[in-house]
Structure 1
């Protein structure tokens, strides 16, 4: 089994605070990890810049300024930036972690959407942009990939970390855009402001309604020039049946001239909600993908929004930053607007309802509700009806003019009971004075007064609580966190940190160490070595020394031992030693030929082998009966329990040897040799005289092959 490559950051702690749990995504500028803030014990998204950017000091300084600006924005529909850091190894942003998916996933799986569905999704996006514009921030890269939808359905717009603060004296500076959604003024290098975000949101609305982007081309510069030259087509041309109000809204948001678009997110939000109220249920549920298949270009749109890096020369991706059109790989570049462009901080929004009599009533109705009171349901907005209105935009302007006129008083009311009014003024001033005095006491001496959080690192909980309460704070709650450096039970830090000033009534949270993060050692016995290594690295531990040993039961290559034992807990990357089986120990087979049967069996069994006696015995002239004549195997090695087969001797073959005394020596010698004996002839006189046998040393039943001596006269 091949080992899976392991990201070295997973399981480590960045800046002694953020425990990296898993990788979420990797982009052109950074890698995003799911991490745990060990100080506050919560999940966060940790965006770590790639090394080549982390060493670019100019880029880091710009990112830090932009992160400060974005962190000042707090809104329910904007992903919050919690922290930013630059260390020796990493530069990172800490973001709110949203457990869900992106709007791109919604487009790919469900578009085209009905106007009701599209407005439901666009409303919180524009509300988040409105808050950003009011705070002086321009997003500059509004697209489905930067809109997050949680599993509970909450919509947030993210990636404000790369925005630049907008002031009344400076423009937006260097702008990054996405080709499929980039505003014409950015392509022309004229600088961008809040209205550039409105244009991108209009393109995104078109895509929600039709399932495709309005402009497509073979090369990026062709798409960019379509944004400059061509008007965005009406969504109803791609999805028949959509109400004309949606066509008008898309056209209004995507005007080529920024002056003809809504001024900011707040203005657009007012128009969105007005349209939502004026559409009938049938119009809100028109279009969509309920009645048929997706548009023919749906697959093409999805391909155009895929990531760069396809095998083809031009990948067709419109969701990348506008780059050098002549470059082979269309690398990301920047558009620098001229310094004369300026934008200003945008005011918050209130919606104004005007009735038929010309009375104006400001009203902040919740999303999806109609105005109450005078003029309810008669909202003269961008979609005001009437044959004299040549366009929705002019109708909206006329309605606002009538509202301003209605707000001007036409008569002056005389004063009544001046003494009573004077008394009321005095009473009001006294009440106001009391309120000011109470607020002064509350903020200066009472629970609202500022106090400095004491340094309580490495103190016990009791000591820390006593020090915090002594400073006047009303609460000193505790929260446990993992920490590699502080012993369990002692204080790691406080939230807010020591030395910070905070209102006394807000209280302080004491972060108590649970000690380092410990990981259990997995059971490795019986696994292959590859499986054991994978289990250790997957459990945030490391492989230590690997040794081998013989084992009579375990298969070669499997784990038979480990240290430390399974179930014990250690810090991340602790090494675990592993013992791997080499299989059963080999046993050399000894030679037991010539030994008695009992001695041979004892010798083999003493080595752990098994002796088996062959059923047939054989004669042997050399090996006495009852002893081993041969064995199988007669050498080599066996493992414990191996069998050696022994063949036992019956002794020699017995033959009857007759006596040949007084017979011819030649006849006797020939007869004995034919019977299988060895014959030795001796002469009494040194040579034969009579040629007869005078003596024979052996006769009777003898072993075949025995030697018989004949004495010849």
Structure 2
């Protein structure tokens, strides 16, 4: 049984209105379900915030902010938000259900896109984003995963979970919640975002669509972040020479490191793309036309009239030849057969009538009756009821057959048997294969396998292996798997769909100990394994020489490359200069020493402290000793 089928939300009625049917996706903040709005009788997507985040006011506020931000955008290229509320302790949001794939899925399947395809998708993305910018909203998390491509051709922008008003340019930690590969330099360095930060993310997406790769790649997120903050995005044509110069210029303009050098909003970038579009498409059209003129040429068209003439001529010639070989005097022959024809006339007439009736019946049976052939309609991608109705309308009977599919959503037709597009006898049975979704597979154990072995096992089982992440571990051997994650980044369940995305958390080995090293040595050693050294602290130590690491501290929980490590550096012994107390009374001298943190001893009885003066102090004034040392003050007179 799959984890989705045991989800307690399946079948639940939310707020007395939304009947949950199945789970669509799960993320770090919320889970999205397919549900039926019983009041309006339509399918909707319900986004439900994870229960463990319900008590976190920041997450809850961000969840509500997404609903409010998206609800303000009534635009055909933005996913509509219909409702938002709370059922018991469960915060939810109701959105438009859009069956299809994401731009990320498209890039995974095709690698890079053509300039024309890129223009089609970017036109829709920028129109939706322009509406957001005009409404004073910055998306702040633009990436291919948030561009939805519907089965019916619509393209919409979704997931406004990080959206903020354009005036809210505060440098908060939340600013860095977006995907690192699409974050602008100002977000990475100052945590500040405005509409031009979205433009930078669009520029990175444009680059990726045209080349199939991201401009900056690194083994660790911090390496990618460093490149975004310090390097210029290269021209896409350096990777894909077929990219037009006009699109090259748009990418460079959108990804300028300085925000003021970029388009001020999505509308300005859209105008530039629309200006470049005619030249790009006309160039493509000329190429395509040329190819069609060369390639598309139906066989037999050019000489059809000549062929017909030759066939007819042959027939005529054959008939003429036969006529020339026939006897000229045929009167006697005709007289001989006339008598027999008169005798057979009656029963021949009966046979003609019978044959005519049979021919007519056969023509009806095979022409328009039950025996006639009909085209099997194309129903792939349609719901089972719609597919059945369409095939029955053509005169067939149907049978639904369930079949698992990685590509076709649950409940939609995959194909038919006999195959759609062919012909079959009216009244015959057509099997419609209906998707039950991906086959649910048992997940093998990947823990402690080498990354290569785990990847091979996952592929052999039927999963798709994604990029791995490194994590330090003292228990798992370097390069071996700590745990496997599903497409949402959660630990992989016991059962998982065929074709599902799997990624591995791979051991980076133990965090090296740098205690006893100099600051330079410790920093070099930590940086070599991908860690960052935060500003060190300093402490006095009687046992550790000055400049040597006393201790190190790492973040709690899982530590991955890019995390910060704290160092405490020795300041050496805590030495204090002994003050001069010569000539002071014992009482005055002792008070001054204690004020500096010293203890004291004396040979003077307490009753004489205010009368006798210090004639000897040991150690002498100006000597540096450990803080808290005891100073001997005496009166030897």
Normalised by the size of structure 1, how large is the TM-score?
A: 0.41
Q: Which protein shows a greater Rg?
A: 1
Greater relative contact order (CA < 8 Å, ≥ 6 in sequence)? 1
